[in-house]
Amino acid sequence: MPTFEQISQQLDHQAIEVPSWAYGNSGTRFKVFGSAGTPRTVQEKIADAAAVHRFTGLAPKVALHIPWDKVEDYAALTAYAAEQGVQIGTINSNTFQDDDYKLGGLTHHDPAIRRKAIDHHLECLQIMDATGSQDLKIWLADGSNYPGQADMRSRQDRLAESLATIYAELKDDQRLVLEYKIFEPAFYHTDVPDWGTALVQVQALGEKAMVCLDTGHHAPSTNVEFIVAQLLRLGRLGSFDFNSRFYADDDLIVGSADPFQLFRIMFEVVRGGGYAADSGVAFMLDQCHNVEKKIPGQIRSVLNVQEMTARALMVDTEALAAAQQAGDVLGAHEVFMDAFYTDVRPDLAAWRESRGLPASPMRAYAESGYQETIEADRVGGTQLSW
């Protein structure tokens, strides 16, 4: 098995985008919880995201969500982010909170509402132009609740037409990334419920259209790492949304429910070339912290991804391949598990210190006083929330 020293330099280029909405108030279907220090402006969200990067060195970009993060001057917002030491990353659209979208957005039977949804995405492209963002990520709540409620085939045709209209406006260095989710808020059928549907739609668009794999958007028994392998094999894995879930929701800290799954996913990412610095696969968190503090939740999350990446890089691939070719079932499994059970935390602490980062970002943040400062300073105004 490779030593940590042998794989340590491969960790240098790791970057995990954090979502602006992780720093606002969030909750369940029943309650949105407030907390001291919650940002009141997009700038305060970016400042909190920048704090995660300062303590971990892992989060150089922050994703925006439109319209939650709309501002008058995106050039000024981009400059502010740079002052804080981060960049604006993915632009996420929203067609699930406006009353017009109750029966769908890009798939709606009414051409006027479809046009409204398309125009929203064209506005997102303009924001990308202003911020230097390269990815437009689309997640759709579109679907139906009852058999017979909607013509499922026609909705796929309308989705293809809507996406093609948006895709035609992409710049050469921009991508459309389509996310899928098995259900919710539609419960009978969802218009983009799985990776196959997403793949079919993006393949029809062209090479600048990719699939976003959200790790919490699958049925409980789904082999997510197999999907990772397939999308990488086909050259269509555009990005991840990392999170975790114990049952059907997907907003928990990545790796908290099943750290072994995160390890397996990262192994397939490495195996398929998705971890290379120039792979084009964007790694991002998509989590809303409901009961824990926001910034430590994000710090813990990026550290979890880093730890499982290090373990995945330590798989003895030569020994694994030899066991597989020999039909040594348990031998191959043992090689795989040896890497998973390797405790890389002390080595990662030393690796951070050698690069001017705190050995324990969680402890360093707790001792920094940043949390106490924002809780004292952010009094008054309206806390941001989804």
State CA 242 to chain mean position distance: 5
CB-CB neighbours of 275 under 10 Å:
22
pLDDT per residue of the chain (386 residues) written in tens, 0 to 9: 999 999 999 999 999 999 999 999 988 878 888 999 999 999 999 999 999 999 999 999 999 999 999 999 999 999 999 999 999 999 999 999 999 999 999 999 999 999 999 999 999 999 999 999 999 999 999 999 999 999 999 999 999 999 999 999 999 999 999 999 999 999 999 999 999 999 999 999 999 999 999 999 999 999 999 999 999 999 999 999 999 998 887 889 999 999 999 999 999 999 999 999 999 999 999 998 988 999 999 999 999 999 999 999 999 999 999 999 999 999 999 999 999 999 999 999 999 999 999 999 999 999 999 999 999 999 999 999 87
State pTM to two decimals. Answer: 0.97
Kindly list the distances between the CA atom of residue 135 and the CA atoms of 64, 117, 128, 283, in Å, as whole numbers in the listed order. Answer: 11, 18, 8, 12
Residues near 365 by Cβ (< 8 Å), separated by ≥ 6?
Answer: 51, 55, 295, 296, 299, 371
Structural domains of the chain sorted by starting position, each given as residue range(s) with its CATH number in brackets: 12-313 (3.20.20.150)
Task: Please say whether the beta carbons of 140 and 177 come within 8 A.
Answer: no
In the three-class reduction of DSSP (H, G, I as helix; E, B as strand; rest coil), residue 379 is classed as coil
| Angle made by CA atoms 144, 146, 151, in degrees to the nearest 5 | 60
Count of CB atoms situated within 10 Å of the CB of 235 = 12
| Two structure tokens written together for 43 | 């700038």
Partners of 252 in the β-ladder = 244
